[in-house]
Every structure is written in structure tokens, then in C-alpha cells.
Structure 1
Amino acid sequence: MSDHGALMDGVYRYQRHFYDLTRKYYLLGRDQMIAELAPPAGGSVLEIGCGTGRNLIAVGKAWPQARLYGVDISEAMLDTARMAVAKAGMADRVTLAQGDACKFDAEALFGQAAFDRVFVSYALSMIPDWEAALAQAARCVGRGGRLEVVDFGQQERLPGLWKRMLFGWLAQFHVSPRRELAGAIERLASEVGGSAWSRALYRGYAVRGALLAP
């Protein structure tokens, strides 16, 4: 296991048991993203950094014909995800695998290299080489597919004290909001000949962006 994988296992070994209960109050924008994924009937959806499986289960409920895949670097989180997926009755629809977001082999893990929808929810801010992870996510998007990202923003329209307190608290969990996220999505879209958009949510609390593959 990589050093980052060991770190994430350590951070979430105990937190994973109450992670979803606490995070639902401040991981804003992810449910709206899921509601708008709109994969084609029978299409494939991959979540990178799937954690406890909470988002994949929500996708499964919102889009019951989709085939679902998730990859995460933490085996501790994947243990929780497997139990959650089974409890939700989706074990036959969700395939989970351990892998580094920056360099996993989708073909080896899932038997396919490209997906109709790929999404990353509040994970890039936890990945040291987040730009490599974003590029890897873009490589997993099939022709005419879409990559969706939501994460912490720069709090630009919120009080400075709020930003300092939030960023200081997030740092305790090895979370660093990425100032250049929107620009990185734009650059990747240009490189692959696709298009992109991004927007701030909740006065800059979060940022959401998408890359549409050609």
C-alpha cells in the first residue's frame, strides 16, 4: 500500500463508522451533482474516491439502470462501502476496488477502461497530486461522456474569519481546497478537444465543474 493509502486508512479507521452522519452537513453540492448525472440507460458510472459508498448508493437510487463502479485508496473505507452497498441491496450493481486515484488501471480493476460518467466528490482536496488524479479521471471518460467534480471552494464571498477557521479545521484531516481546480478542468478539456464549465456554489463554499468529452 502507498504512504497515502496508509495515511487514509489511519485517518478513517474509526471515522468511517460515523463519516456519513457528520459529512452530510457540510459536503454541499454533491446531491445536486448526482441528481444531474443523467447516465444513458444501462450506462456506466465510476466514482473516484468512493469512500463509504454513500454517493454510489445515491446514484443507484437516482439512476436505477446504471452500472456502478467505485475506486478508493483506503481498504478501511472500502470495507465500510461493501457493507453499505450490500445493506442497500445493490451488491449486484456496484463493483468496488482498491486503487490509487492518480494511476489505477480501470481495465484491470473493472474490465473496462472508459465510462459514461465519472465523478469525484470532495476527494481531490485530499489527494496530494490532485492534478494527476484529475487527469486520470478524465482519461476514464468515454466518448461523449462527462466528468463531474465537486469540492471545497475558496470561500471568496464568505467572511475572512470563516475561511481561516474552515481551512484550519480541514487541514487537521489533510484536506486542502484546490484554488486552481476550475482552471485545471478547463486545461484538460482543451487538451482532449472537449468542453468544460465550472461555477462557485453557496457564495464560494464549494466549486462544481464538468468536462464534456468529445
Structure 2
Amino acid sequence: MPIPRNFTAPKSAKERAFIQIQEWIIDGTLKPEEKLNDVELAEALGVSRTPIREALQLLAVHGFVVMHPGVATQVTAVNKEDISKILPPLAVLQALAAELATSVINQQDIDSLRRINTEFSQAIKKGNYYSALKLDEQFHREIVEVTQNAYISNTISMLQAHVRRLFFHNSIILKHDSVDEHETILQAFEGQDSATANKIARNNWLRPIAEYYSK
């Protein structure tokens, strides 16, 4: 049968519940170690209890809740020092994405990334750190998208969600150093220098660990 063009399947109730509950956990609306009631969540999101339970199971797999069958489901605690567990694997994957992107990225992509980096710089200067965080995510996500590697992008997406949670609990500090590192990555792309793109992308994600422990 003919398939309609530009068709986007609507998100399922489970996906919508997963996204919203995860966001509430990330921004602290649902507090660390808070017990979750699937009936209340179902009422709040306008869905049945089944997609809520399915969403909670997926959130457990992603490390955002812990389920005690027959007892309770709780939001996981926040350990700020998990920054040293989350960022190293993320750094490796982001560095690999930058390396792989070097040989296929085009100037239009680079120009788009440069515009994002300019907005990122402006957000930091204004002290609008949440906007800066989202722009930083967008910058790196566009590099990952260039690789067209779903295995890399899916794993990065999961880790990135935990980075956002640490940001809301003051473990992640955004500094202007990232602006210069982003520009160096872009120059490496323009020079087809995959080794430099890899190295700088990796350092860009590892630097916040040292900054956290030096506070």
C-alpha cells in the first residue's frame, strides 16, 4: 500500500508518560527518593495506569527510579559525584561522534553549529545557564546526527538526561571555555582533522569533572 509522505507517528501514551515523568525528575518537580503513586501520575497525565507502569519500568532501566515490587516506586537519589561516572563514557562517545563526523560534515552544517555556538556564548554571558545548557546539547546533538549512527545517539541521549539532572542539582557548571572548545572543533571539521576533533570534544566533556572537584 502507498505510505503517506512526511508522516510522523504520534507518541504512545507510554512514551508521553516517560518523557514527562523523566522531565519532572530531572528538574526536581519530583524530588529525589520521593515515592511515586501511579494513580496520581495517571490522573495528572490523563492516561490509564498501564502506560504509567510501563513508563516507570523504562525509567527504572534508565536509572531514574527504583522499583520495589509490592512496596513502592521511588525516584532515585542524586549523588553529585556521579559526574565522574556519567561524563567519561559520554566524553568517549561524543569524541567518537566528532571524529566520525569530520569526514562527512559539510559547510552548511558547520555554519549552523557556529550560529548555535554564538547563541551559547551569549546565553552564558547573560547568565542564562539553562538556555546555555540546551544550546550546548543542541550543538553536540547536531554533530551526532551527522554520523547517522543510532547506536551512538541513543546511548548519548540517555546519558545526556542524567547530565541535565546533575545541572539542576548544581554539579554541572557551564563556563565560557566551552565556547572556545566548540570553535576549535569546528575548525578541526573545516581542516578535516579528525584527531583534533576527537581530542577537543573529549576534553570538552571531561573538563567539568575537574572543575567540580576544584570548587
User: Which category describes the TM-score, using the shorter chain as reference length?
Assistant: under 0.3
Larger relative contact order (Cα-Cα within 8 Å, sequence gap ≥ 6) = 2
Q: Which has the higher strand share?
A: 1
Larger Rg: 2
Q: Which has the higher helix share?
A: 2
Normalising by structure 2, report the TM-score.
Answer: 0.26
